[in-house]
Structure 1
Amino acid sequence: MRNRINTLQFLRAFLAVYILLFHVILELNNQYKSQYVLLSRIIANGYTAIDLFFILSGFVIFYNYSHKIGDIKGARNFLIKRILRIYPLYWIVTLLTVVTLFGLYKVKLWENKELLFKSLLLIPQNGYPIVAPAWTLSYIVFFYIIFSLVMFKPKVFIPMVSCWLLAIVLNLFEIISLSKYNNYLVSFLFSWMFLEFFMGCLVAYIVQKFHIKYETYFLLVGMFLYGFSCGFNFEIHRLLSIAAPVSLVILGLVLVEMKYEIVTPKLICFLGDASYSIYIMHYLVTVNILIGVTKVNQLEKVIDYNLILLIILSLGVIVSILYYLFVEKPLVKVLDKIQYKFIDTYNISNNP
């Protein structure tokens, strides 16, 4: 089994840049009344990036850690490693957001203690956290907890998780109705999005356990179905119209790389490595700061709309990459040293 699948770096790089573009175009269109018609069409299905993000996360975790299922120490180490990967960098961005919004707009986020507390711990809430895109991290962290429990005691927790997933499916098809409770926490716990993580796990299981031919067909069929669904917006659930084709794309990409020698460009690998920093930092730079300052100062009166877009996108990417180089990489090295002192660590590549 390969430790590192380079084609997944392409997906990570694509996700990071696409989500940045999605948020910037969305906010600028709200501000300037749809000046960016062509780009708006390109990002019209930007919400599907979340489906890819969740399925990819499930694949990577199962692919790298499934051999540790039943290993109590491995479960503990896995959860510690994931927590240290997610929270410290996220906390820094949250703090920067709080300080920035007060400095620029006199918004005192610390006065809303519930928002601050839930945002810092990534506890699900009825609304967005302080770092808006981080709502997805609440799902990621919960999936990590579930997976660590399965690793810890598979005989106990696999049946429990199976029942939970069955309840999600039954609720999805309205065989049982949990929406009647009208509670955001219930909605979170039984969200159909958790199924996407396990679709990624299923793809990883297939890759590990079966020798599959015609790998190119999986890739092409997945891409065709995804494009077809995005183009026609069928009235069927995203699990079928988006998540299923995306799963086929990931399966095809991995199988193709395992069969052929594919060289991933260094720039793509670099952006893939920096994808987490881009994801959590870009909103602060582009939306909270640059678009906000542009609106307050009415810069569109002196700068062309397209130039405004180019400046915001460029600075969003540049600052996020600087955050990766000068904050994430040094911090990860420090955290790795802490892990080596207190827990057994594993040489796991493709960290989501």
Structure 2
Amino acid sequence: MRFEGVQALRFVAAFLVLVTHASFYASARLDPSVGTWWFGAVGVDVFFVISGFVMMVSTPGLSRDGDGALRFGYRRVIRIAPMYWIATTVKILTVMAVPTVALHPDLSPGRVLASYFFLPTRGPTGETGVILGVGWTLVFEMLFYLLFTLGLALRLDPMLFSGGALMLVAAGSFLRPETGWPVWSYHFSFIVVYFVIGMALGRLVLSERLRPHTPRVAAGAVAATLVIALLPGGVAWENSSPLRVVAVTAFVTCVVAAEPLLRGRLPRPALFLGDASYSLYLFHPLVGPVVPVVLARAGLIDHTVATVLTIVLAVAAGAFLFRFVERPVTGRLRGLEPRVARVVLRRRQPAPAAVPADATARPDTAT
């Protein structure tokens, strides 16, 4: 089932992150006195709720399918990894060619290898993550996919299994010290709660018993969104703030509940940009900083102009990359799924039991 409102919401989430980064690039390279619009970071929270929701509504019945875990895992990998690897490679080549484009370049072999496998490492200045800055979110996405796939492989309810594990991970964030924590505890973050919220919302949509209560849930979500929107931003939108969690949950719930009104009415460009949101998210940090650098060399120190031009360039680049790179690559890899499944399943099938050579000659012994 395709939820067009959620599809368009993907672009909204990516756009929020883009605006925050565009204002940061302009501030860092043109005018440090102008602050960064950090509110857009909430787009990541929205992304994670959408991810949990999509996992539930797009995989019903997989837990009862013997090959469900294999098919799910393969589809998630080809959806996330190829474009991330391409973006990481572009970042590495760019830093090698022009080291000054990166604020904290670190291309040590261990860090490069770990980044390709979505494993965080600690950089020379103490920051922890992967080479591609925005790839930190994919570190959490891959953890979520791994747990979900494991639940499917064990024939367990993937929501209960992965949700329970993620809540333990979130609880670990309260035990981790502010500084000096080991790299292996990187995943201990409260932000993984949004995956669980998204899965719960997906279960609500799918459940016949809960579906009659959807209008009440939607009404409550609208009310919560309006109330929180009237609160001071600093109160409602701090990281891990309960109000921020409620606001993000209510906002996504409103979009999901409005699907009957949105379906068939959203403009095609909005749906296309929703499809292109992943390319936009991955590559905007690679093209965005170009604008303020060019403007600085031209002597045009204007924060607003730089931010707007960065947004326009990044959206155009994201749409182009989706159309001519992401969609063809993903489509070709999706076409290989049956062949990959046959190879893997053939190796998983146990060898047939040996039959004695004289079994057919002595039927009295084959009892």
Say whether the 8 Å CA contact 1:23–1:283 is kept in structure 2. yes
CA contact (8 A) 1:218 1:252 kept: no
Does the 8 Å contact 2:12/2:43 carry over to 1?
no
Spell out the pairing of 1:139-218 with structure 2 (5 A cutoff): 139-155=140-156, 161=162, 164-165=165-166, 167-168=168-169, 170-171=171-172, 174=174, 177-179=175-177, 182-209=180-207, 210=210, 211-212=212-213, 213-214=215-216, 216-218=218-220
The residue number in structure 1 matching 2:95 is 101
1:80 aligns to 2:103 (yes or no): no
Q: Indicate conservation of the 8 Å contact 1:122/1:137, yes or no.
A: yes
- 1:115 is the counterpart of 2:148: no
The one-letter code matched in structure 1 to 2:259 is E
Q: Are 2:337 and 1:339 aligned?
A: yes
Instruction: Give RMSD over aligned pairs.
Output: 3.0
Greater RCO between the two (CA within 8 Å, min separation 6)? 1
CA deviations over 1:309-349 (Å, ceiling 9, x no partner): 333222222122111111111112211221133338xxxxx
Q: CA deviation at 1:239?
A: 5.4
Q: Which residue of 2 aligns with 1:60?
A: 54
Indicate the residue corresponding to 1:129 in structure 2.
130
Greater per-residue helix proportion: 1
Alignment of 1:205-284 (within 5 A): 205-209=203-207, 210=210, 211-212=212-213, 213-214=215-216, 216-228=218-230, 231-234=233-236, 238=240, 240-258=242-260, 263-284=265-286
Does structure 1 conserve the Cα–Cα contact (< 8 Å) formed by 2:224 and 2:247? Answer: yes
Unaligned runs of 5+ residues in structure 2 are 123-127, 343-367
Equivalent residue for 1:330?
328
The DSSP-based 3-state class of the residue aligned with 2:131 is coil
SS in 2 for 1:17: helix
CA contact (8 A) 2:148 2:158 kept: no
Q: Could you say if the C-alpha distance between residues 18 and 179 of structure 1 is closer, same or farther in structure 2, counting changes exceeding 3 Å?
A: same
* Structure 1: 5+ residue stretches without partners: 345-352
Residues 181 and 29 of structure 1: is their aligned pair in 2 closer, same or farther, counting only changes over 3 Å? closer
User: Structure 2 vs 1, CA of residues 151 and 315 (structure 1 numbering), >3 Å: closer, same or farther?
Assistant: same
Q: Cα distance, 1:89 vs. partner?
A: 1.1
Distance change >3 Å, CA 331–CA 160, structure 1 → 2: closer
Deviation at 1:236, TM superposition (A): 7.5
Q: Is the 8 A contact 2:163 2:196 kept in 1?
A: no
Q: 1:331/1:158 Cα in 2 relative to 1: closer, same or farther (>3 Å)?
A: closer
Q: Is the 8 A contact 1:89 1:328 kept in 2?
A: yes
Deviates more, 1:73-82 or 1:159-168: 159-168
1:12 paired to 2:14:
no
Taking structure 2 as the reference length, what is the TM-score of the superposition? 0.79
Q: How far is the alpha carbon of 1:205 from its aligned partner?
A: 1.0
Letter in 1 for 2:4: N
Deviation readout 1:281-322 (Å, 9 max, x if unpaired) = 1100112x444x338xx3262464443333322222212211
**Kept in 2: contact 1:199–1:247 (CA 8 A):** yes
What displacement does 1:57 show?
0.6
Aligned identity (percent) is 22
Please state how far the C-alpha of 1:123 moved relative to its aligned partner. Answer: 0.7
For 2:168 and 2:232, how far apart are their aligned partners in 1? 28
CA contact (8 A) 1:62 1:204 kept: yes
SS at match of 1:58: helix
* 8 Å CA contact retained: 1:220, 1:249: yes
- Which amino acid in 2 is paired with 1:150? G
Q: How far does residue 18 in structure 1 lie from its aligned partner after superposition?
A: 1.6
Out of 300, 305, 308, the residue aligned to residue 307 of structure 1 is: 305
Map Cα deviations across residues 90-141 of structure 1 (whole Å, 9 max, x no partner): 1111111111222233789685112211111111223232211111000001
- Amino acid across the alignment from 1:122: F
What's 1:49 paired with? 43
Distance 1:276 1:340, change over 3 A: same
The whole-number CA distance in structure 1 between the counterparts of 2:263 and 2:322 is 29
Q: Structure 1 residues 313, 169: closer, same or farther in 2, change over 3 A?
A: closer
Return the letter of the residue paired with 1:87: A
- How far off is 1:247 after superposition? 1.6
Change (3 A) 1:340 1:229: farther
Verify the 8 A CA contact 2:284 2:314 in the aligned structure 1: yes
CA distance in 2, matches of 1:34, 1:218: 41
